[in-house]
Amino acid sequence: MADPRSYLFVPGQRPDRFAKAAASGADAIILDLEDAVGPEQKDEARAHVASWLADGGAGLVRINGQGTPWFDDDLAMLACYAETAAMVPKAEPAALAAVAARLPGRPLLALIESAAGLASAREGARAPGVARLAFGNLDFSADMGMDPPDEGLDPARFEIVLASRLAGLPPPVDGVRVELEDAAGLTAEVRRKRGLGFGAKLCIHPAQVGPVNAGFSPSAAEIDWARRIEAAMAEAAGSAVRVDGKMVDKPLLEKARRILANIPA
């Protein structure tokens, strides 16, 4: 699997949940030092995350944003763990540059969650270290003063998908779903977001991981189709060819190869 399909948040002040999150089936866990942690628990949470990483635990770390009292300490801690990626909140170009300067060569997951972040998403996607974009749908809505249905944020999602494509990044990560006991609704949502060009989703509960992983994985029918397209195009030496009564050429071959590249290990 080239890129994670699911990213599960776990609060940094809850070390009892770190191992459970890692065993949840999520492709990646995000050790959260920001929104899930109250101001009085920031130092404690940072210490717990550092201990987990020092003991060989894996995960991305969502740091506190530039301009907060905890930003410098978060970066200083992460500088000690060279293999650990960072999620950057309010990922506007100045914030991304500041993190990249302190953590050179570190993969950054840029969280687009403000008007300024969306307006500069194409610049941010090309910033040093940025490995993938993610959509912070709840913070974005709050920043914009919006309270739309989920599909009302699709124009913002389109821009994030476009910025990712122009920068040569993997398909971006969609934001969280706050409903925790609606597997059918989550499955339908993931199907729609995949159709919009997203490749993963942020999760806030282990129960969300299974439907998210399944929804962002190619189905057996898709894999079969992709293999037949690839075989037919190879036999035709790259020329257009008829498969299942339809004309197939280079764009569909590229789609088939994307499907085959995302078969779970």
Q: Which residues define the annotated binding site? A: 62, 113, 139
| Residues in the annotated binding site for Mg(2+) | 113, 139
CA 14 vs CA 11, 50, 75, 138, 151: distances in Å: 6, 13, 20, 23, 33
Query: What is the distance between the alpha carbons of residues 142 and 117, in angstroms, rounded to a whole number?
Result: 13
| Residues in the annotated binding site for substrate | 62, 113
In sign, the C-alpha dihedral spanning 45, 51, 55, 61 is: positive
Residues 6 or more apart whose Cβ sits within 8 Å of residue 141: 147, 148, 153
Q: Are 34 and 63 in contact (CB under 8 A)?
A: yes
Q: What type of residue sits at position 90?
A: K
What are the start-end ranges of the E strands in 143-248?
Answer: 173-174, 200-203, 241-243, 246-248
